[in-house]
Amino acid sequence: MKKIAILASGNGSNAENIAHYLNDFPEIEISIILSNKRNAYVHTRAENLKIPSMSFNRQMFYESEEVLDVLKENDVDCIVLAGFLWLIPESLIKAYPDKIINIHPALLPKYGGKGMYGSFVHEAVHAAKEIETGITIHLVNEKYDDGKILFQAKTPLNENDTPDSIAEKVHALEYEHFPRIVVEYLSN
């Protein structure tokens, strides 16, 4: 049995999508969902899915071992970042080498790095008049959006696209591919 923890900062739609996908893979389970925001909707989703969840603050994440202890207590084998916006501390990267997976809403190395998340990415893609965008699923290292790329998927853009329509196209790719790539990576 492989156990994963999902870290999310907001809505949690990717976390829920992964949870539903894992219904067909009983050898993998989400043991806990963690968020850096106490009021994030991901906690409601976790409750509805009957998955334990908890919140943490900056001090717990960066200046203590509290989050690492929770991961160990839950026998976590792999961490999945599903809309999680903070840089992962070195202690977690060392504890989970090549076992932290992130999804980024653009085709890295373009539109990555600090401050490049969510609508900021889609606005930048739109402003640059890109003809395509997509998603990148990658391993996490000590730099934002810099780890080994596991998978990319593209979607074409046209002159009528807006940042909102770009976001919709990217979300569709996330929902289609993220759970599958997580399972494939954990199955190797």
pLDDT tens across the length of the chain (188 residues): 999 999 999 999 999 999 999 999 999 999 999 999 999 999 999 999 999 999 999 999 999 999 999 999 999 999 999 999 899 999 999 999 999 999 999 999 999 998 999 999 999 999 999 999 999 999 999 999 999 999 999 999 999 999 999 999 999 999 999 999 999 999 98
Tokens of 51: 């998955």
Domain span at residue 12 reads 2-104+136-153+177-187
Q: Judge whether 95 lies within some domain.
A: yes
Amino acid (1-letter code) at residue 18: I
In the chain, the number of structural domains is 1
Q: Judge whether 35 lies within some domain.
A: yes
C-alpha pair distances (Å), 140 with each of 96, 114, 159, 162: 10, 14, 33, 29
- Annotated catalytic residues are 104
Q: Judge whether 26 lies within some domain.
A: yes
